[in-house]
């Protein structure tokens, strides 16, 4: 089994709290709530402490940005159940509201749906199946492949808001899984940008090697097809640059200057 990580990730802080490697193929999704409005950076700092003995594979902030804390090849310490976490990808989602609902922003939900779709695609999970019956969930009966933290411990996690959204999340993911698209990000092998980094600003209308350097990152982020790395920043590349800036919390101006370049280079 070859494991990859999601290209949707815009921040990485690998936690020491994990079991490496996992001992089961990925066939389950476990969505958690942070029980607080933590940014992905703050959550990463929490999981960076080895005394905390907790982690998750991914984290999603209220702003919709996605982080990687434990690579998919490894088992996170998230659900109070080793067996579950060896087969599950675990995702912590920030809350913009408190107990007992632990509300989650629409932006975080949108990112969650995209991330789970991507995880399913890369790990050959054909369909996401939710059940409101705990016995179905913990025994993976009737194809059920979504579990929740409260199945394994006396916890409110994932909160009532996310718990009640599970059937909707499954429906949205399945809709996306049924659409046949070219597998641009299906199995990205680690590679570095083959193009020369520009020294001047790249924006709509720019042509040449610098434009290709920018488009390589846009492809790596899943915003362009590889065949679209053509060295010309047209409308689609311009929109992709803005989307990449939005996801990273940068100024959304469509101009790839030094700040944007430095942020991208830290990622890949």
**Are the beta carbons of 105 and 33 closer than 8 angstroms?**
no
Q: Does 261 bind Zn ion (CB under 5 A)?
A: no
* C-alpha dihedral (112, 266, 264, 209), degrees to nearest 10: -140
Q: Does 157 bind Zn ion (CB under 5 A)?
A: yes
Minimum gap (Å) between residue 163 Cβ and Zn ion: 11
For residues 209 and 214, give the distance between their C-alpha atoms in angstroms, rounded to a whole number.
9
Q: Which range touches Zn ion (CB under 5 A), out of 9-17, 68-76, 154-162, 188-196?
A: 154-162
Query: Which residues, 6 or more positions from 254, have their beta carbon under 8 angstroms from its beta carbon?
Result: 203, 204, 238, 241, 242, 245
| Segment holding 137, helix H or strand E | helix 134-139
Minimum gap (Å) between residue 128 Cβ and Zn ion: 19
Per-residue x/- mask for Zn ion, residues 13 to 42, rule CB under 5 A?
A: -------------------x----------
Nearer to Zn ion, 70 or 157 (CB): 157
Minimum gap (Å) between residue 155 Cβ and Zn ion: 6
Q: How many residues bind Zn ion (CB under 5 A)?
A: 3
Nearer to Zn ion, 10 or 88 (CB): 88
For residues 116 and 90, give the distance between their C-alpha atoms in angstroms, rounded to a whole number.
10
Minimum gap (Å) between residue 27 Cβ and Zn ion: 19
For residues 26 and 173, give the distance between their C-alpha atoms in angstroms, rounded to a whole number.
16
One of 122, 149, 220, 261 touching Zn ion (CB under 5 A): 149
Query: Which residues, 6 or more positions from 186, have their beta carbon under 8 angstroms from its beta carbon?
Result: 121, 122
Nearer to Zn ion, 157 or 214 (CB): 157
Interface with Zn ion by CB under 5 A: which residues?
A: 32, 149, 157
């Amino acid at each position: 089994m070859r494991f990859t990580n999601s290209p949707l990730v815009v921040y990485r802080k690998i936690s020491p709290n994990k079991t490496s490697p996992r001992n089961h193929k990925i066939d389950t999704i476990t969505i958690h709530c942070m029980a607080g409005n933590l940014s992905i950076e703050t959550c990463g700092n929490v999981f960076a402490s080895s005394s905390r003995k907790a982690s998750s594979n991914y984290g999603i902030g209220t702003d919709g940005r996605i982080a990687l804390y434990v690579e998919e090849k490894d088992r996170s310490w998230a659900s109070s159940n080793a067996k579950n976490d060896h087969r599950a990808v675990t995702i912590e989602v920030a809350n913009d509201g408190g107990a007992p609902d632990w509300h989650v922003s629409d932006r975080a939900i949108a990112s969650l749906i995209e991330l789970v779709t991507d995880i399913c695609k890369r790990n050959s999970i054909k369909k996401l199946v939710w059940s409101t019956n705990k016995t179905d969930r913990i025994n993976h009966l009737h194809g059920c492949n979504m579990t929740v933290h409260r199945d394994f411990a006396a916890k409110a996690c994932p909160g009532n808001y996310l718990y009640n959204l599970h059937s909707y999340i499954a429906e949205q993911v399945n809709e996306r899984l049924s659409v046949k698209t070219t597998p641009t990000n299906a199995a990205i092998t680690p590679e570095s940008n083959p193009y020369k980094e520009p020294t001047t600003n790249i924006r709509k209308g720019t042509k040449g090697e610098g434009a290709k350097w920018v488009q390589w990152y846009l492809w790596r982020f899943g915003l362009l097809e590889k065949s679209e790395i053509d060295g010309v920043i047209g409308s689609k590349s311009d929109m992709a640059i803005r989307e990449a800036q939005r996801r990273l919390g940068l100024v959304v101006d469509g101009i790839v200057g030094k700040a944007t370049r430095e942020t991208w280079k830290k990622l890949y």
